[in-house]
């Protein structure tokens, strides 16, 4: 990874301010060009499967990409950045949550914790990928080291893990069960809405076809989404500090990546690849993030991660506090 320029995160946060204003017509357009094609692909997949054509399962790939984009619109609603009015953000976010199987208020609160603590070694554990330091890993028992190795294996991180997260974990407010009634209302209310919609679809098309349509689409979207989330924080020269040295601005700008993606993937991922700017100024709507890069070219060169580098990041599993970078198990042993 090439050296990156050092910039004043606080100054940039101030200068980015004008880009925080959403454009309501543009937001409505982005929602329409995502939801309508998703619905059409969903119906096409159902029609093909109903006719016995397993080729219809291939449609789960583009449909999963659109479902991921819907989730990221829900994500912007959670930050209050998609519409100007909070009520508009909240109700659109709740409705999308029924499709993405993600309870809106519960996820919004846990994601806010992630933004407030990303890169803080003393505040890990909420809304992030579990990451140990080299010293922590070395002091663990062999069983716990083995469990961590299993957790960090790609088949678990990008296969089993996303399925568990969206199909099972989101059914209860895990991690917030003692945080009052709001997380419970969010998860149970979403579950009830999912049950109502699913019940109607089961009555109309049958239980088996519903599973063969929505579950594959969800798994595709979940795996791709977790991959993006992983690359956006788990790269070699990411930024972690202990609480006494941690600052929000530096952690946002240098602990989140600028993932270099081709245009098509940027569209499906709703520009979430410009993650360092998003963490620095989360109220900027996703469709205005490229404007920020054009206005502040230094940001285009900050925390860059190429597609090739991102694949290598899968092996980086431990934070080395002396070298101040992520390292592999092999490097940690050495």
**In which band, very low, low, confident or very high, does the pLDDT at 1 lie, cut at 50, 70 and 90?**
very low
Grouping H, G, I as helix, E, B as strand and the rest as coil, residue 37 is helix
pTM, two decimals, is 0.93
Grouping H, G, I as helix, E, B as strand and the rest as coil, residue 320 is strand
Task: Please say whether the beta carbons of 221 and 272 come within 8 A.
Answer: no
Task: Please say whether the beta carbons of 289 and 320 come within 8 A.
Answer: no
pLDDT of residue 311: 95
The per-residue pLDDT of the chain, averaged, comes to 92
Q: Where are the beta strands (DSSP E) in the chain?
A: 132-133, 258-259, 304-305, 318-320, 325-327
pLDDT at 2 over 60: no
Token readout for 1 is: 């990874």
**In which band, very low, low, confident or very high, does the pLDDT at 4 lie, cut at 50, 70 and 90?**
low
pLDDT of residue 334: 80
Q: Which tens digit of pLDDT belongs to each residue from 276-285?
A: 999 999 999 9
Task: Please say whether the beta carbons of 48 and 55 come within 8 A.
Answer: yes
Decide the pairing of beta strands 258-259 and 318-320.
unpaired
Grouping H, G, I as helix, E, B as strand and the rest as coil, residue 133 is strand
Q: Is 334 exposed, middle or buried (0-12, 13-18, 19+ CB in 10 A)?
A: exposed
Instruction: Give per-residue burial for 52-69: e unless 16+ CB within 10 Å, then b.
Output: eeeebbebbebbbbbbbb
pLDDT at 315 over 90: yes
Beta bridge partners of 305: 259
Q: Which tens digit of pLDDT belongs to each residue from 264-309?
A: 999 999 999 999 999 999 999 999 999 999 999 999 998 999 999 9
Domains of the chain by residue range: 9-129+154-316
pLDDT at 39 over 80: yes
């Amino acid at each position: 990874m090439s050296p990156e320029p050092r910039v004043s995160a606080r100054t940039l946060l101030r200068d980015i301010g004008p880009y925080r204003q959403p454009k309501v017509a543009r937001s409505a357009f982005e929602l329409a060009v995502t939801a309508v094609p998703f619905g059409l692909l969903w119906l096409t997949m159902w029609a093909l499967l109903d006719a016995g054509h397993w080729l219809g399962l291939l449609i789960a790939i583009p449909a999963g990409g659109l479902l991921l984009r819907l989730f990221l619109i829900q994500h912007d609603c959670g930050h209050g950045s998609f519409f100007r009015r909070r009520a508009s953000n909240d109700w659109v976010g709740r409705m999308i949550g029924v499709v993405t199987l993600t309870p809106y208020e519960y996820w919004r609160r846990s994601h806010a914790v992630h933004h407030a603590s990303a890169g803080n070694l003393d505040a890990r554990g909420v809304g992030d990928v579990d990451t140990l330091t080299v010293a922590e890993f070395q002091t663990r028992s062999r069983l716990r080291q083995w469990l961590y190795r299993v957790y960090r294996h790609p088949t678990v991180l990008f296969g089993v893990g996303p399925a568990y997260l969206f199909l099972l974990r989101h059914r209860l407010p895990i991690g917030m069960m003692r945080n009052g009634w709001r997380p419970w209302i969010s998860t149970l209310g979403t579950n009830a809405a999912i049950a109502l919609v699913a019940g109607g679809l089961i009555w109309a098309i049958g239980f088996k076809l519903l599973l063969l349509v929505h579950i594959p689409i969800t798994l595709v979207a979940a795996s791709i989404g977790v991959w993006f989330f992983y690359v956006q924080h788990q790269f070699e020269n990411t930024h972690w500090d202990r609480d006494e040295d941690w600052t929000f601005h530096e952690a946002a700008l240098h602990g989140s990546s600028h993932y270099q993606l081709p245009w098509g993937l940027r569209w499906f991922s709703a520009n979430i690849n410009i993650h360092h700017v998003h963490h620095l100024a989360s109220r900027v709507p996703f469709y205005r993030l490229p404007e920020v890069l054009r206005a502040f070219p230094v940001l285009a060169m900050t925390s860059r991660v190429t597609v090739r580098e991102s694949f290598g990041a899968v092996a980086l599993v431990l934070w080395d506090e002396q070298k101040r970078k992520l390292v592999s198990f092999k490097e940690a042993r050495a």
